[in-house]
Amino acid sequence: TDLLSAEDIKKAVGAFSAAESFNYKKFFEMVGLKKKSPEDVKKVFHILDKDRSGFIEEDELKFVLKGFTPDGRDLSDKETKALLAAGDKDGDGKIGADEFATMVAES
């Protein structure tokens, strides 16, 4: 919440509370990430990279909404795979910081 407003986070996570409703483009826009500097987008990436591997793997993507608020739901397998496919530009099965920044910028 140092980077994004708590109200925006609540609204964005709430908008996708229904199963199979997650849309990363709309989510990044609603949560205010799209308007942030590349440095701030990287900070958010590091929050989502729970194991500090330098990548957001599929098992971390499943909990992406929880990365923004503990009340967030888990993404379904289908939503997780769609998010991974959207962000994984080099096909290595995970999303790096640059891929994440590109994904946010394209949303």
Known binding-site positions: 49, 51, 53, 55, 60, 88, 90, 92, 94, 99
**Cα–Cα distance for residue pair 105/34, rounded to 1 Å:** 6
C-alpha distance across the termini of the chain, in Å:
21
CATH, range 6-106? 1.10.238.10
pLDDT tens digit at each of 107 positions of the chain: 689 999 999 999 999 999 999 999 999 999 999 999 999 999 999 999 999 999 999 999 999 999 999 999 999 999 999 999 999 999 999 999 999 999 999 98
Q: What's the pLDDT score for residue 107? A: 85
**Cα–Cα distance for residue pair 84/79, rounded to 1 Å:** 9
Q: What is the DSSP string of 20-68?
A: T---HHHHHHHTTGGGS-HHHHHHHHHHH-TT-SSEEEHHHHTTHHHHH
Known binding-site positions for Ca(2+): 49, 51, 53, 55, 60, 88, 90, 92, 94, 99
